[in-house]
């Protein structure tokens, strides 16, 4: 997926501020942060569209993603709370069609978020 911006970040063709990585997951700071801590966690492999496309073959990647999110939250000292969210479709705010999760924290996060 050479045209996918997240695939280009994983390949090192576009610079990103890396926060962490595993075998299957890459995490970097969002360029337009919505909270003091705003990190994107993406699968290294292109997972088209969204969480709606996940299957049993993604179990290892998802385990690594949630584990890395928890590690980053600890490293960022988000003891009071943090949010991990993915958007599915344009009405939910999805703008890049490569599965990704936003880790947000460092301020009070309201509910409902929209």
For residue 5, give the H/E element and its range: helix 5-11
- The region of weakest confidence among 9-13, 47-51, 75-79 is 47-51
Mean pLDDT for all residues in the chain: 92
Tokens representing 15?
Answer: 């610079």
3-state DSSP call for residue 93? coil
100 given a catalytic annotation: yes
pLDDT at 22 over 70: yes
The single residue of 24, 58, 100, 102 carrying the catalytic annotation is: 100
Sign for the pseudo-dihedral over CA of 51, 105, 69, 5: positive
CB atoms within 10 A of CB 33: 13
pLDDT attached to residue 49: 66
**Bridge partners (DSSP) listed for residue 79:** none
C-alpha to C-alpha distance for 36 and 57, rounded to whole angstroms: 33
pLDDT attached to residue 89: 84
Mean pLDDT of 88-100: 87
Residues in the chain, overall count = 114
Buried b (16+ CB within 10 A) or exposed e, 1-16: eeebebbebbeeeeeb
Q: Which CATH superfamily is domain 5-105 in?
A: HIT-like (3.30.428.10)
- At 91, the pLDDT band (50, 70, 90 cuts) reads confident
pLDDT attached to residue 60: 97
Mean pLDDT of 44-70: 91
For residue 72, give the H/E element and its range: helix 59-75
- At 90, the pLDDT band (50, 70, 90 cuts) reads confident
Q: What is the pTM of this model?
A: 0.92
């Amino acid at each position: 997926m050479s045209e996918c911006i997240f695939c280009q970040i994983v390949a090192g063709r576009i610079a990103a501020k890396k926060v962490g990585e595993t075998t299957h997951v890459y995490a970097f700071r969002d360029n337009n942060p919505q909270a003091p801590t705003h990190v994107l966690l993406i699968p290294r492999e292109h997972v088209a569209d969204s969480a709606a496309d996940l299957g049993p073959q993604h179990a290892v990647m998802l385990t690594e993603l949630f584990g890395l999110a928890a590690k980053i939250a600890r490293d960022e000292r988000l003891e009071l709370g943090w949010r991990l969210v993915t958007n599915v479709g344009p009405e939910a705010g999805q703008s890049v069609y490569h599965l990704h999760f936003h880790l947000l924290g460092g301020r009070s996060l309201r509910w409902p978020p929209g």
